[in-house]
Amino acid sequence: MPAAKTRHKTQGIAMNDTSTATQKMLAERIKQGMDSLDVSYGDEAIEKLVAYMVLLAEWNKTHNLTSVDDLEEMLSIHIFDSASIKPYMKGASLLDVGSGAGLPGMILAILSPALQVTSVESRNKKAQFQMFAANKLRLKNFKVENVRIEEFEPKEKFSMVTSRAFSSIEDFVNGSKQTIATNGRWLAMKGLVPKEELKVLKKMNLKFDTFALKVPELDAQRNLVVIGAPK
């Protein structure tokens, strides 16, 4: 995901500041952000989101999992951005393609305990982080496949397939078409409306809709392209 500016007034929070006071502040900010997104949550979800941020900050010191080096930026660029597509989700299972540090899949698994989430991540260190974090957070509805998406052949196909990291929607759709259920939907997270990519979808005879996402504290355009799977 491209770099973006946050809109909050404070000076930023260093990644190594994981004090109790900081965690309480992050919890309150997450609640405010979820309220703004009209995304429901419980106390356990907020605790796990804060814990996820702490784990990511710790691992990022040595593994370079994300270019974001400020906890405040992590709130908007990672947590709120990931949660912003929840209102558009329909179905019991979600596949997150190339999710890096577990974004958006792990965030959505935390917010939706009944949703079965699978993350496909080919880079070993990022897949290892996801496995570690899922175990620490006791996410029974989240699992990781350390493979390339083109090589992933699930036993049961997914009602939703999402990504916010693929270079093009065409590659995203073609690379994951063997994983999506009949009447399933691709949820492609983008910055600006990808007009040229949408022309390709038309040539592929795929139906789609675009939705503008309003991500709290993020000074950047974010859009969601929802694509119906061919019948």
Domains and CATH numbers, the chain: 13-231 (3.40.50.150)
Residue ranges of the chain with per-residue pLDDT less than 70: 1-18
What's the pTM value of the predicted model, to 2 decimals?
Answer: 0.91
23-28, long-range: CB < 8 A, 24+ apart:
23/50, 23/54, 26/50, 26/53, 26/71, 26/75
